[in-house]
Structures are given as C-alpha cells and as structure tokens.
Amino acid sequence: MDLASLLDRCRQGDDLAWEALVRQFERRVYSIASGYASGPDEARDLAQDIFVRLYESRGKWAPAEGFTPWLVRVARNVCLDQLRRKKARPPAEDIQADEMWDLASPDASPEAELEATGRRQLVWRALRSLGGLSREVLQLKEIQGLSLQEVAAILRVPIGTVKSRSNRARLELAEQVLALKGSRTEGGA
Amino acid sequence: MNCQGFDLRLDALLDGRCTADQWCEADAHLAGCARCARLFEAMAGRADDLDDEGHETLSAAIVSKTSGNPCASARERLCDFVDRQLVRFDQELMDAHLARCPRCTSLAAALAESTRLLPSFAELAPREGIVRDVLAATSRRQADATFGAHARPSRFGSGSTGLRERVSAWIARVAQRPRFSFEVAYVLTLLLLVVFGNPVVAFRDASARVQPHVRDVAHAVSRPLANARKVGANTLASVERAIRPNAGRANAGPERSVLAEGGELLYQWWQAHVVAPFWSVVSEARDVAGRVFDALGRAAGVATAEPTIPAVR
Ligand SMILES: [Zn+2]
Ligand SMILES: [Zn+2]
C-alpha cells in the first residue's frame, strides 16, 4: 500500500486508512516502545500512547518521504514523557521480563527459526542489559536504521557524537554478547 | 632491576647514554631474563637467530613497550572493520592484528553477528495485538476532540460508560459524516415536530432540576448546531424547491393527483410548522438540543423525574 496515499486518507479522517496505518506500524512502534519499557506490558501501553498521540496530531504529520524518522522521533518523545511522568511513581514489580518478549522470526523454517531465535534472544538480552544512552542510540541508528543526521537531530547532538556513541554502544553490545555466551557455556558445562 | 626498569632504561642503553654502573645493572638483569635479552638483541639489530615464536613474543614485547597494547587501537577501528568502511590499508592492518589476537577476533565475530541481527528488532510483535485497543482509544478520542475536553475517559478499554457518554460518542461518530450539518438541521426539526408537535412550545417550561445536565450535552452539540445554523437557510430553500413543483401543479387542473394534493398540504404545513419556528429554534439551539437529550435520557430511565411531554396537536 502506498504510504503517501494512506497518510492522506488518514489526514482526511478515513477510519479504515487509520486502521491500516496502525496495522502497518504497530510492530515498529512496539519495538521502539520496548526500548524504553521495563517489560512487554509497559511497551504495549507505551505503543498505545504513541498511536493516540499520533492520531491527535493528524494535521501535523510529516510527509511520506520522512514519515518513519518522524514517527520514531514522536514515539521517542511520548516514551520519554511517560517515563518522566512515571518517575514520580514507584516502579511496578521488576520481574525478569526479558524472557517474555516474543522474538520468534516468523519467516524462517522451524529448525532455522529455533537457532535464529536463540541467537536473537542472546543479542536481545545483551541489548537490554546496556545503559539507556547506548540502548537508545542502537535503537535509533542500528535497529530503526535512521541516518547519522536523523539520529543527531533527534538526540540534539553533533553527528560526530552520534557516530562515536554508536560505535561505543555496538562494542559494549558485542562484549555483553560474549559475556552472556561465556556464562551460558559455563552454566551448560 | 626488574623488566619494567629495564624497559625504561632501554633507550639510554642503546644510545650509549648510560653510566658504567647502569650498564652493570642492565647486564645483570639480561643474564637472568630471556625476554629482556631478546628485546635488547632485537633493538640493537642482532636478533637474526629468532624462530617464529621468538619473533612473535618479541614483537609483542616491543609493541607493548612502545605504543602500548594494540587491542585498544583495534577496538577503535572494529566497527568500521565490520562495516567494511576502512580503507584497504587499515583493513589489512586489522586483518593482521586479528590473525594474532583471539580476543579481538571473538569480539569482531560478536560485533558482526549483533550488527546483522539488530535490524531484525525494528519490528516486534506484541503478544497481544494492540490494533483493536488503539482503534478503541482513538475513536473515543475522536469523540472527545469533537466535543471538547470534558468527559474524557479515565483509561481506554474500561467499558462502564453512562448513557450520556454513549449518546455523545454516537453523535460524535455521526457528526464526522460530511452531510451531518445538513442532516441535523432537517432531522432535528422533524424530530421536534414528531415528538412535540411544535418545537417552540415544546420546552417552554422545562424542568429546572435538569439544567446542569442539559448544559453539558448542549455544550457538546453546540458546534454541530453552529454548522447547522450556517446551512440552515440552504436546507430550507432546497426542501422548499423540492416541494414547490408539487404545490404548483396542485392548482393546474382537475386531475389533482394524491401526490399533488399531498404536496400542497405538505407545503402549507412546512411553512406554518417548520419554516416559521425554525429560526427561533435554531437561535435557541443550545438549550433546545440539551433538552432533547435530557428527554431522551429520561425516556431511557436515566433521570428520575417523570417526563412531562406536552400534548401533541
Ligand atoms: Zn626482564
Ligand atoms: Zn587485539
């Protein structure tokens, strides 16, 4: 479906188009929300808040060419707002929520999927063990695939800073993956 | 003297800037330390008898003495290496280092794998789809946006909404239709006529007890009704045009059809009961609409007061 037409129809108040848009971006928005959430339930709430905010600002949407980076920016702002609001309240019970993320890759064959899911699980756990700054720059640049310029605009830092921060975060992630692999093989032996 | 002390003095030894005492000290250490002996031989250009392993440990020793641990430098270039962004020369330097350094090699492998997998997290499936909840939340918001800030639901998904909210939500959905303004002018007038016979007298003595309740709903429909007022004239004119031909034909001849007769009657009725009262009704649109909803509410048993519906003519 052509995104530009879809956005136009949404702006005109076509509820069917809005539904299609929500379906198209649901997983992406949920993924962004997951970067700021302590668990799947909170990510789900955040994703809903993001869509509600999106809906309320229909008149001010970015054009189709720049829609995804713009959406990422809006999503991030909503998440940060909600987290700021939540800071006043004590955090909900901090269960080991990592295992509850659904990381299955639906396209792969069963055996390939099992292996792929295991590897993704490892990277995902490593990712979630990183600090907020590292996680965020990875989410924006490596996961959502935004350009250095786009990430710099969102984070309001120079491009060089994004580049160095991103490289540092990637190395941290790789080291964390190695550490988790090590602890896994030790535990298995 | 230990190895560190020897390293510090190595340059001075090679340049011949040492005292005899310092030479003796160094000699004593070299006699007992193969590592420093090799290093000294190599630096002095007399290390031709080294085997591969010897070269390896020697190179490592030299590097660590001079530039320090090279892994930090390899780490700096590792991301670009994995991304194949290095110029060829640096790429070869990295290849050479990785060939000798298992630690950096495994880090590079982990980096390459996580780099490959990260984009697969761009879209994640929530365990339960959120589309339905989002649509429910936003259509509710749509109602709020239409009717202003009041009566916002506390949290999406809570199903316990009163009749007033449900009526408001329904009106809000209806109000999104393009022809709503046209329809509301027409339907509201007809509704008032059907229920009360005459919309002007219908609410002359509405109960004061329900006023606060009425004001809320009246405020809610004020905007659609403002639109209705705008198109009201057009509405009346077009309905008149629709009725006129029949009314005209009614005087045309002996073959007065039932339709023509009906048209004549309808036109007179329209003039007397709709057009004349319409403008006064619209001018009091807020109040009237509020009371209509109040009447609807009472009919559905929301208000406790007995309804006092005026006699239909
Ligand atoms: Zn030594
Ligand atoms: Zn190394």
pLDDT in tens, B170-201: 655 655 554 555 556 566 666 656 655 554 45
Across the A/B interface, how many CB contacts are shorter than 8 Å? 122
Output DSSP code: residue B120. G
Domain edge (last residue) among B92, B118, B144: B118
B7 and B100 in a single domain? The answer is no
Is B90 part of a structural domain of the chain? Answer: yes
Q: Which residues does B211 contact at the CB level (< 8 Å), separation at least 6?
A: none
Residue stretches of chain B with pLDDT short of 70: 45-56, 58-59, 62-67, 140-295, 297-313
Question: Which of B81, B114, B132, B144 would best serve as a mutation to test chain A binding (most A beta carbons within 10 A)?
Answer: B114
- Asked if B196 contacts B295 with a C-beta cutoff of 8 angstroms, the reply is no
Residue B39 CA to ligand 2 center (angstroms) comes to: 21
Tens-of-pLDDT digits for all 189 residues of chain A?
A: 789 999 999 988 888 889 889 988 999 999 999 988 888 888 988 999 999 999 988 888 999 999 999 999 999 999 999 888 877 665 554 445 455 677 766 565 666 666 778 889 999 999 999 988 999 999 999 999 999 999 999 999 999 999 999 999 999 999 999 999 888 776 544
- Asked if B50 contacts B58 with a C-beta cutoff of 8 angstroms, the reply is yes
Is B166 part of a structural domain of the chain? Answer: yes
- Asked if A155 contacts A162 with a C-beta cutoff of 8 angstroms, the reply is yes
Helix (H) or strand (E) holding B131, with range, is helix B131-147
Structure token digits, residue B34: 């193969």
Which of B111, B127, B139 is facing A170, going by the closest CB pair?
A: B111
Closest-approach residue (CA) in chain B for A33: B124
B207 and B295 in a single domain? The answer is yes
Residues 125-144 of A with CB under 8 A from B: 126-127, 138, 142-144
Is B196 part of a structural domain of the chain? Answer: yes
Side chain identity, residue A43? A
Distance CA A121, CA B124 (A): 13
- The confidence score (pLDDT) of residue B203 equals 52
Give me the residues near ligand 2 (ion), CB cutoff below 5 Å: B 71, 74, 101, 104
- The confidence score (pLDDT) of residue B80 equals 95
Residue B35 CA to ligand 1 center (angstroms) comes to: 6
pLDDT in tens, B254-263: 444 555 666 6
Distance CA A153, CA A76 (A): 13
Structure token digits, residue B312: 């239909």
A82 in reach of chain B (CB within 8 A): no
Residue A186 CA to ligand 2 center (angstroms) comes to: 23
Distance CA A75, CA B10 (A): 60
- The angle formed by the CA atoms of residues B87, B74 and B60, to the nearest 5 degrees, is 120
Residue B51 CA to ligand 1 center (angstroms) comes to: 19
B113 and B132 in a single domain? The answer is no
B106 in reach of chain A (CB within 8 A): yes
- The confidence score (pLDDT) of residue A166 equals 96
Distance CA A108, CA A159 (A): 36
Q: How far is CA B14 from the centre of its chain?
A: 70
Provide the domain limits for residue B147.
Answer: 128-178
The count of structural domains within chain B is 4
Place of tokens 């030894």: B13
- Asked if A40 contacts B126 with a C-beta cutoff of 8 angstroms, the reply is yes
Is B105 part of a structural domain of the chain? Answer: yes
What was the ipTM of the complex prediction? Answer: 0.81
B160 and B98 in a single domain? The answer is no
Is B280 part of a structural domain of the chain? Answer: yes
CB-neighbour burial class of residue A109 (10 A; exposed 0-12, middle 13-18, buried 19+): exposed
Domains located in chain A, CATH noted = 3-88 (1.10.1740.10), 111-186 (1.10.10.10)
Place of tokens 């005109």: A12
B25 and B97 in a single domain? The answer is no
Handedness of CA A141, A147, A148, A151 (dihedral sign): negative
